[in-house]
């Protein structure tokens, strides 16, 4: 009985070690989303105050074609790194990109768009982040690929890279446009 008491901490240590080992095998950006293959949340966001006259962004704009919804903010450093990739997607690869401006000041967002360019077909301002919560946003940037019926088919947490676009996003866009 006494040996078992001495063995218990060792077994506990081994169990915790195995749990850590298995946890470190996972990609932290690979966050499962309960929204995959489900309709995009219903929402209606106004345009950024004083911004382009695109009429904001609502869920009604997310049907009819394959689109990408990108959640971004002017204060987000990875968003700046991702922006040229988003711009290339919209301008050179024919993907309609919509933006959700997350917890941002309108003047900061407009300055950011003027400085780096505006690849978005429409932008909705989400100053309190409530709509982004409905989308399951953990942080910015995050991107969602939406099919013709308005269902979320792919979610990417973190900045889109050329590799992610070429290997994952564009093949999925092509597949969804054919189907």
Distance from C-alpha of 156 to C-alpha of 154, rounded to nearest angstrom: 7
Cβ distance 82 to 169 under 8 Å? no
**CATH number corresponding to 34-178:** 3.40.30.10
pLDDT at 16: 74
Domain boundaries, the chain: 34-178
Q: Is the pLDDT of residue 30 over 60?
A: no
Other CB atoms within a 10 A radius of the CB of residue 34 amount to: 8
Say whether pLDDT at 35 is over 90.
no
The pLDDT, as a whole number, for residue 22 is 65
- In this prediction the pTM is 0.82
Is the model more confident about 13 or about 163?
163
Return the pLDDT at 9.
73
State the pairing for strand pair 67-72/96-102: parallel
What are the backbone dihedrals phi and psi of residue 2, each rounded to the nearest 5 degrees, phi first?
-65, -35
Q: Which residue has the tokens 């987000």?
A: 76
Which tokens hold the place of 157? 């947490």
User: pLDDT tier at 33 (50, 70, 90 boundaries)?
Assistant: low
Which range among 5-9, 52-56, 74-78, 170-174 shows the weakest confidence by mean pLDDT? 5-9
Mean pLDDT across the chain, nearest whole number? 90
Residue 65, helix vs strand vs coil: coil
Q: 144-164 burial, b if ≥16 CB within 10 A, otherwise e? A: bbbbeebbbbbbbbbbbeeeb
Provide mean pLDDT across the span 55-76.
96
Q: What is the pLDDT of residue 170?
A: 97
CB 80 within 8 A of CB 113: no
- Asked if 89 and 68 count as a contact pair (C-beta separation under 8 A), the reply is yes
Give me the percent of the chain exceeding a pLDDT of 70: 87
- Report in angstroms the alpha-carbon separations of 132 from 75, 93, 148, 150: 16, 26, 21, 16
pLDDT of residue 20: 66
Dump pLDDT digits (tens) for 86-131: 999 999 999 999 999 999 999 999 999 999 999 999 999 999 999 9
The stretch 8-17 carries a mean pLDDT of 71
């Amino acid at each position: 009985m006494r040996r078992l008491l001495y063995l218990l901490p060792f077994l506990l240590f081994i169990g915790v070690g195995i749990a850590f080992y298995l946890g470190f095998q996972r990609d932290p950006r690979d966050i499962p989303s309960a929204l995959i293959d489900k309709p995009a949340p219903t929402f209606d966001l106004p345009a950024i105050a004083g911004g382009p006259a695109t009429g904001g962004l609502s869920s009604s704009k997310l049907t009819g074609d394959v689109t990408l919804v990108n959640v971004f903010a002017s204060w987000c450093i990875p968003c700046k790194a991702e922006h040229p990739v988003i711009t290339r997607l919209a301008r050179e690869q024919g993907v309609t990109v919509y933006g959700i401006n997350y917890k941002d000041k309108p003047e900061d967002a407009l300055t950011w768009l003027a400085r780096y360019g505006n690849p978005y077909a429409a932008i909705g301002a989400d100053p309190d982040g409530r709509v982004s919560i409905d989308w399951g946003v953990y942080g910015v940037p995050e991107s969602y690929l939406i099919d013709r019926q308005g269902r979320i088919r792919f979610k990417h947490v973190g900045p889109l890279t050329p590799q992610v676009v070429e290997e994952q996003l564009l093949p999925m866009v092509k597949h969804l446009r054919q189907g």
